[in-house]
Each structure stands twice: as C-alpha cells, then as structure tokens.
C-alpha cells in the first residue's frame, strides 16, 4: 500500500496538537494536518505485517476477478463433453525422457469401471501436453472493450482443469474466477449503499438531535433486533425469478443494505455527537457556515479513518451474506456464477465426498473473509491515534 519502508518509521512524531489549526488560515493548515495524519496511519499500517500481506492478496484477488477472461483458460460455460466431474489435472514440471523443464499436464482418459459403473479418470502418461502461456483460445472482450482471444495459459490439445470439472463438465477454476466477480463486487457495492445511507442518516441523527434523532435511533434499534437472514431470504425469494442477473444482483445488494447501514449510522452518529460540541464547530457556526458545510467540511474529516475501518469490517459480512443466499438458492440464480452458486454443487454430501474439488470455492470465501478481517484489524490499529 505504501512505499514507506518499515525502517523509516521507528520514532514517528506524534500528530501535531490540535491547537495548531487556527481558524484564520484553516484551509492550508488543515490540509497539511490531514496529510500528516494519513501519513501516520500509513506508517502504522505498514508495521502490521499480516495486514499488508492481506491487502496485497486482496488486490491480486480483485485483479483476477476483473480480468477473469484473461486469467482463466476457458469460459464459464465451456463444456468438455465426456469429462463430467473430472478431478483436477495435476501440473508436472520435469518432462519425461529428458524433454526439459516446464509446466505440462498429462492427457486424461476416461474409463468405465465395470463393477461400480462409475467413470474413472486416469492420466495418460504417454501424452505430454505442455502448458503454453498467452495462448490464443476462445475470443472475449477484455473489460467489455478490447476484443482479443489471448488467455494467460492453456493447452493446445486436451484440457487443463486446475480445480477439476463440475457435473456439467465445466472448468471449476474458470468458474471460480468468474464467480469472484459477483462475490467480490457485491461486498463493495453493498457497502457503498450502506455507507451512503449510514452517513446520511447517522449524520442527520447526530447533528440535529432531538426528534429526528429519536426517530432514526428507534428505526435502527428495530432493524438491529431483526435476525437478518430470515428477512433477507424471504425478501429475495419474493424477487421474480426471471429477472436478468444484473437486476437481481442490484436487488439483492439493496436487500442486504437494508440492514447493513445501521452499524455505520451508529458510528457516524456517535462521532458526530462528540465532534459537534468541539470549539471549532461552534466557531464555524458562529462564522455563519451552513449545516451541510459544517458536516462535510469540519465533522466528516474528523472521523473518516473510523469510517474506513467500519467499512472494511462490513465488506466481508456482505460477501458472506451473498454467498449464503446464493448457496441456499434464493440469491443469484444460475447460469450466473458466484461463489455461492458454485457451492450449491457442494450441498450434496455424497457428491462432495467423491468430488472434493467442489469445495474449493468455499476456501476462497473463507480466505477472502479472513483477509478483509486482517486488513480491518491493521487499519483499526493504525487509525486509532490513541492506540497504545
């Protein structure tokens, strides 16, 4: 995140005391003051090794999701006739008979087990299929704009199924990358909606107080008392099934945000209540600033770092909720791919017992949630100037 090396930090000076800001030259001094605050946060954050590693991994995950067409060898709908529920193809490096070094896979042959009447997949060790990089395969539009057919890797003949295939013979690796799109983005979009609602309502509640505050607080109390999942399930089940994926996606995001904003609103209100009593708020009011200007200019910047921390902790909750809803079948509907819809295949225990690789998307979900939590932890430690 930061180019600062940890060696540079040891004795970072504390943030300058607040008295430095004088009302007269607020504009320039304020900017300087905040810059140094962010600098401090960055320094403290880079000391939190787990958080730094996590943020790098998260960025990689998001890049994989954005350029899923490029990083995956196939498309999520490509079917390999005759290769239903095939296990992952292991990648080998040292080629037989002194063929040199480089990634390759063996071709897979399918045989029918005469006793159990199940198909078994065996590597055909005579057929070496080298993995090529930047291969031309199925055409797609990168970012929906650039027409190309280059994939990061692939085999010229046969197939490479890194995570195996599902029962409709589609590549689980490709589908996991494409599923990341919906799963990872729904966290951001959902938190954005919650954020707007939370800051707006929490801000109004905290700044104006009185009856407005009472009403908003009672609404929050009420929403917080409802167990979310049953409500979400029922609401999303009422959505028409024939809606296009995009519409469904936004509807579900909105449903998740209905309860999601309350926590943020609480944070905003609490901070707002504390900061509006500060002298500089009084000064701004005395100078004739409007409520909007005071909120956006003087109060919000005072707790932006806290907001960022709350947001970071909210994203994994959103991702999980989407996964849960899609997993039980009331969220995103196939053929759209999300980690939740991929996990639908893992609901059947007997199927998973034989096709372990169907569980791989679950590891992605747990991993993502853990990473976000690590980042949130690091940010919280970094953003709290009174820590230790």
- Name the site residues for other proteins (rule: CB under 8 A): 222, 224-231, 233-235, 237-238, 240, 316, 320, 323-324, 327-330, 343, 346-347, 349-350, 352-353, 356, 359, 362, 365-366, 369-370, 373, 377
Residue 2 vs 347, nearer CB to other proteins = 347
Q: Which is nearer to other proteins, 107 or 377 (CB)?
A: 377
**Cβ nearer to other proteins, comparing 289 with 359:** 359
Closest approach of other proteins to the CB of residue 185, in Å = 19
CB-nearer residue toward other proteins: 308 or 328: 328
Give the shortest CB-362-to-other proteins separation in angstroms: 5
Alpha-carbon distances of 122 from 90, 113, 173, 355, 361, rounded to whole Å: 11, 12, 20, 15, 24
**Residue number with CB closer to other proteins (131 or 332):** 332
Q: How far is the CB of 103 from other proteins (least distance, A)?
A: 30
Closer CB to other proteins, 203 or 316, in the complex: 316
Residue 384 Cα distances to 169, 256, 335, 378, angstroms: 50, 29, 44, 10
Residues 87-91: contacts with CB under 8 Å, at least 24 apart: 87/121, 87/164, 87/355, 87/357, 88/161, 88/162, 88/163, 88/164, 88/172, 88/357, 89/123, 89/159, 89/160, 89/161, 89/162, 89/164, 90/123, 91/131, 91/160, 91/162
Calculate ∠ Cα 65-357-153, nearest 5°.
45
Long-range contacts of 367-372 (CB under 8 A, 24+ apart): 368/58, 368/61, 368/183, 368/184, 368/316, 368/319, 369/316, 369/319, 369/320, 370/54, 371/54, 371/55, 371/57, 371/58, 371/61, 372/54, 372/58, 372/187, 372/312, 372/313, 372/315, 372/316, 372/319
Q: Which is nearer to other proteins, 12 or 348 (CB)?
A: 348
Three-state secondary structure readout of 155-200: ECCCCCCCCCECCCCCEHHHHHHHHHHHHHHHHHHHHHHHHHHHHH
Indicate the residue among 122 and 356 with the shorter CB distance to other proteins: 356
Q: How far is the CB of 266 from other proteins (least distance, A)?
A: 10
Minimum CB distance to other proteins, residue 329 (Å): 6
| Beta bridge partners of residue 105, listed in sequence order | 129
Q: 182-212 burial by CB neighbour count: b if 16+ within 10 A, else e?
A: bbbbbbebbbebbbebbbebbbbbbbeeeee
What is the CA 21 to chain-centroid distance, rounded? Answer: 38
Beta carbon nearer to other proteins, 145 or 225: 225
d(CA 82, CA 161): 14
Of 173 and 374, CB closest to other proteins: 374
Compute the least distance from the CB of residue 215 to other proteins, in Å.
13
* Burial of 381 (C-beta count, 10 Å sphere; 0-12/13-18/19+): middle
């Amino acid at each position: 995140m930061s180019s600062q090396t940890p060696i540079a930090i040891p004795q970072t000076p504390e943030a300058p005391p607040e008295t430095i800001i004088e009302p007269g030259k607020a504009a320039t001094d304020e900017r300087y003051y905040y810059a140094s605050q962010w600098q401090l946060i960055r320094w403290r954050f880079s000391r939190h090794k787990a958080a730094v590693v996590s943020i790098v991994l998260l960025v990689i995950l998001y890049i994989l999701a954005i350029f899923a067409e490029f990083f995956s060898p196939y498309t999520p709908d490509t079917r390999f006739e005759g290769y239903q529920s095939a296990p992952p193809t292991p990648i080998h490096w040292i080629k037989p008979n002194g063929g040199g070094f480089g990634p390759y896979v063996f071709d897979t042959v399918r045989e029918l087990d005469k006793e159990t009447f199940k198909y078994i997949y065996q590597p055909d060790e005579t057929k070496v299929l080298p993995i090529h990089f930047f291969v031309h395969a199925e055409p797609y539009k990168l970012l929906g704009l650039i027409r190309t057919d280059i994939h990061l890797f692939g085999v010229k003949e046969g197939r490479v199924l890194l995570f195996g295939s599902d029962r409709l013979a589609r590549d689980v690796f490709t589908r996991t990358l494409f599923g990341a799109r919906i799963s990872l983005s729904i966290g951001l979009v959902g938190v954005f909606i919650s954020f707007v609602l939370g800051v707006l309502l929490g801000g109004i509640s905290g700044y104006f107080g009185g009856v407005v505050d009472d009403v908003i607080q009672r609404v929050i109390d009420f929403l917080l008392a409802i167990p979310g999942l049953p409500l979400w399930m029922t609401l999303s089940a009422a959505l028409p099934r024939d809606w296009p994926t995009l519409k469904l996606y936004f509807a579900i995001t909105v449903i998740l945000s209905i309860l999601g904003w309350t926590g943020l609103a609480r944070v905003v209100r609490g901070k707002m209540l504390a900061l509006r009593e500060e002298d500089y708020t009084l000064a701004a009011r005395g100078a004739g600033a409007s409520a909007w200007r005071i909120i956006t200019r003087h109060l919000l910047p005072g707790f932006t770092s806290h907001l960022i921390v709350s947001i970071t902790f909210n994203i994994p909750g959103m991702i999980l909720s989407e996964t849960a809803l899609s997993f039980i079948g009331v969220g995103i509907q196939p053929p759209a791919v999300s980690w939740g819809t991929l996990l639908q295949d893992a609901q059947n225990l007997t199927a998973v017992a034989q096709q372990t690789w169907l569980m791989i998307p679950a590891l992605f979900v747990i991993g993502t949630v853990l990473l976000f939590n690590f980042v949130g932890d690091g940010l919280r430690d970094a953003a709290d100037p009174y820590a230790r």
